[in-house]
């Protein structure tokens, strides 16, 4: 590929169809897909940078959930923060650890919502409503350590019919904190 060749969504799909991919887009933004994820048409957007003389990486999101345009914008914003002296990879790791420090399921759900739903989904209020109506009344007041397979399954079964999409994800989030399998 020449330097002048424009990278488009069609180019990205062609790279994935060819198999595993690890290609730099420019400015530290890298398009990475394993052979398994390439078969599914998925890859990760990774920002590679140096901070304090050390090579660092931050996963920005998954393709096709995060478009090329959005990945470039996220990389640009992260590079600006790096120029200000902020280690964006450590910042993301601290945010993830903060979710594990939550004491109740409601607090964990709120942290999960802010981190994964509010910024990404077109209608985040739907997920918020599901948490409010189905998770909080059933297991919201329980401590995160108290939630196991039975309690999270009870919550997901109680609300499986009205809204299908968020429950396996939320159940996995609660079980991952509790170190149990969904």
Number of independent structural domains in the chain: 2
DSSP 87: -
Residues 153 and 122 in one domain: yes
Order of all β-strands in the sheet with 43-51: 21-26, 29-33, 43-51, 54-63
Residues 65 and 106 in one domain: no
- Looking at 56, 88, 120, the residue that finishes a domain is 88
What's 132's domain CATH number?
Answer: 1.10.150.130
Is the per-residue pLDDT at 160 higher than 50? Answer: no
Residues 52 and 19 in one domain: yes
pTM: predicted TM-score of the whole model, two decimal places: 0.55
The reply to whether 120 falls in a domain is yes
Provide the residue range defining the domain that includes 58: 9-88
How sure is the predictor about 149, in pLDDT bands with cuts at 50, 70 and 90?
low
In angstroms, the Cα distances linking 123 to 63, 117, 120, 127, 153 are 20, 9, 9, 8, 25
Looking at the DSSP bridge assignments, the partners of residue 33 are: 21
How sure is the predictor about 163, in pLDDT bands with cuts at 50, 70 and 90?
very low
Count CA within 13 A, CB hemisphere, residue 84: 8
Is the per-residue pLDDT at 81 higher than 60? Answer: yes
What's 74's domain CATH number?
Answer: 3.30.160.390
């Amino acid at each position: 590929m020449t330097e002048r060749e424009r990278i488009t969504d069609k180019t990205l799909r062609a790279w994935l169809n060819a198999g595993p991919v690890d290609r730099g887009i420019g400015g530290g933004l890298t398009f990475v897909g394993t052979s398994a994820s390439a078969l599914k048409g998925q890859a990760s957007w990774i920002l590679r940078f140096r901070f304090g003389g050390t090579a660092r990486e931050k996963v920005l999101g998954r393709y096709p959930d995060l478009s090329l345009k959005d990945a470039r914008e996220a990389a640009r914003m992260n590079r600006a923060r790096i120029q200000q002296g902020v280690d964006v990879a450590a910042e993301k790791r601290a945010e993830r650890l903060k979710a594990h420090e939550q004491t109740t399921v409601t607090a964990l759900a709120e942290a999960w919502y802010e981190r994964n739903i509010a910024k990404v989904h077109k209608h985040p209020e739907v997920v918020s409503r599901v948490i409010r109506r189905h998770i909080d009344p059933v297991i919201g007041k329980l401590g995160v350590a108290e939630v196991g397979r039975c309690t999270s399954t009870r919550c997901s079964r109680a609300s499986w019919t009205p809204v299908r999409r968020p429950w396996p994800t939320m159940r996995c989030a609660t079980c991952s904190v509790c170190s149990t399998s969904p």
